[in-house]
Amino acid sequence: MNERELFKKTFDAVPAPEYLAIRAAVNANADTRRAPRRVLRTALIAAMLIAALSAAAAAGFLGGTKKDYVDVCNKELDALRELGLFHIEFEIEESSLRPHYDDIGPDMVYAGEVGSSGSAETVYYFLLGNMDTGKISGLSISARPQEDTEPAFINEVGWAIYDNFDAILDTNMTVGEYCDIWKQYQGYERYELPEGVEPEIRLLDTRELDAWSFSMEGNGIKIPFYRSGRGEPEYAWISYEATGSGPSICFGDSSLKG
Amino acid sequence: MQEHDEFTRAARQYAPLIYRVAFGYLRSVQDAEDAAQNVLIKLYRRAGGFESDEHLKYWLVRVTVNECKKALKSPRYREAPLDELAQAAAFDTPREGELFQTVMAMERKYRAVLLLYYYADYSTAEIARLLGVPAATVRTRLARAREHLKHILTEQEEII
């Protein structure tokens, strides 16, 4: 018995009431409606919930302690994992966090473990948070190389290069899926793919496209995202690299420009 | 769906699927019955036919998911305790009972993906459309849920 057969047999054991169809036909014909709900009470509860959620969202990184910043960063990382952007596990720690980092401007928070292992000992990460929105605006993650397997290739100076991107994310993710997740997370209204970049292309196949650039601004494909009612775009990059120290991928815009 | 015979056939064929998807999603006998009934009423009232049986099934599952989401917002909605739910079903083997308990103990987002994938036979892309989330999210949830199931089932086998 395979997984699907086992699953079906298991849930077929849940008895489904036989009278559902008959009751539905009778109720539909009689135009039966449910008893009136407690509309006012529901509306009040909804209003309270919205107020509470709005307050929590507005709080973002503002006015917090270092611990608050760390908590927000980790909560937002979880949110991105839940949306399916990546699945690698690691946590930001206070020691790696620098609010008001000089190089990136006063409205950003920075957390990074570049050049030394992070809290999970297997991940290098670099995160930028927008203190106004409480959202992560850029994130770069490098996994440890899969040294117990054959390297993907040996480069010109003889280094073994590893491309175990599956340690970080779903390697079947497409450009469209990546952009949809980023759009949903940030609350953007829309985005525009550069010419020649189709939404169905696998994210990890984009390096071969003409739209890929190597420049001082960044390496990869730069995608403009637009907020409702605002003309100026914000950018997210598609950027990844297989290296000797492991596969590395960038989400959003994690360039240190403020 | 105006033709009474057509409704009866569709309801007989799909009511168990609709109910079990709602039951798994909501973890409540009463709310699953209400959701399933609302789906069938919508089917009864729907004017015009469906292109195929697959189209009908997809429509029913989509409406079921929407009815479940609606039920979650109701102040009357209550999840039933796990033991109570398990007592309602008659499993042939302890392994099935264990699988049921494990799945039903998971968070709703994982249960929904598992039910739609394994029980309703939808692909991850179709589930993404049904739930209104990116396909990558569905694949991640499915992978996590599978991992969780594998771990529990492996433990179970070792104990046996």
Contact A70, B124 (CB under 8 A): no
The end-to-end CA distance of chain B, in Å, is 51
Parallel/antiparallel/unpaired status of strands A234-243 and A219-226: antiparallel
Minimum Cα–Cα distance from A88: chain B residue = B140
Q: CB atoms < 10 A from the CB of B70, how many?
A: 13
Q: Do B11 and A4 touch (CB under 8 A)?
A: no
Residues of A in contact with B11 (CB under 8 A): 20-21, 24-25
Reported as half-sphere exposure (CB side, CA atoms, 13 A), residue A143 has a value of: 21
Q: pLDDT for B17-61, tens place per residue?
A: 999 999 999 999 989 999 998 898 888 887 667 888 889 999 999
The alpha carbon of residue B3 is apart from the nearest alpha carbon of chain A, in Å, by 12
Tokens describing residue B91? 């499993």
pLDDT value for A130:
74
Please report the sign of the dihedral spanned by the C-alpha atoms of residue A245, residue A246, residue A249, residue A250: negative
d(C-alpha A219, C-alpha B64), whole Å: 45
Q: Count how many Cα atoms sit within 13 Å of the Cα of residue B142 in the half-sphere of its side chain.
A: 20
CB B20 within 8 A of CB B27: no
Dump the DSSP string for A131-167. TTTTEEEEEEEEEPP-TTS--SEE-TTS-EEB--GGG
- Give CA–CA dist A8/A18, Å, rounded: 19
To the nearest whole Å, the CA of A32 is away from the closest chain B CA by: 10
The per-type count for chain B, helices as H runs and strands as E runs, is: 8, 0
- Inter-chain contact B118–A8, Cβ cutoff 8 Å? yes
User: pLDDT tens digits for chain A (258 residues)?
Assistant: 778 888 899 999 988 887 776 766 666 665 444 433 333 333 443 444 344 434 444 344 445 677 777 788 888 899 999 999 999 888 887 777 665 544 445 455 666 554 333 334 556 777 777 767 778 888 888 888 887 788 888 877 777 888 889 989 999 999 999 999 999 999 999 999 999 999 999 999 999 998 998 877 778 999 999 998 878 899 999 999 887 778 888 888 866 443
How far apart, in Å, are the Cα atoms of B71 and each of A46, A112, A206? Answer: 15, 43, 42
Note the pLDDT of residue B144: 87
Tell me the β-bridge partners of A82.
none
Task: State how far the Cα of A224 lies from the Cα of A194, in Å rounded to an integer.
Answer: 9
Q: Which of A121, A130, A134 is nearest to A91 (CA)?
A: A121
CB contact set of A128 (below 8 Å; sequence gap of 6+): A104, A108, A109, A110, A136, A137, A138, A139, A252, A253, A254, A256
So what's the pLDDT on residue B151? 65
Taking the CA of residue B53 and the nearest CA in chain A, the distance in Å comes to: 18
DSSP secondary-structure letter at A114? -
- What is the predicted ipTM? 0.89
DSSP symbols for A73-111? HHHHHHHHHHHTS--------GGGEEET-GGG-TTEEEE
Stretches where chain B sits below pLDDT 50 are 156-160
CB contact under 8 Å between B75 and A42, yes or no, is: yes
Dist CA A71 CA A85 (whole Å): 19
A4 closest CB neighbour out of B8, B37, B118: B118
Contact B45 A81 (CB under 8 A): no
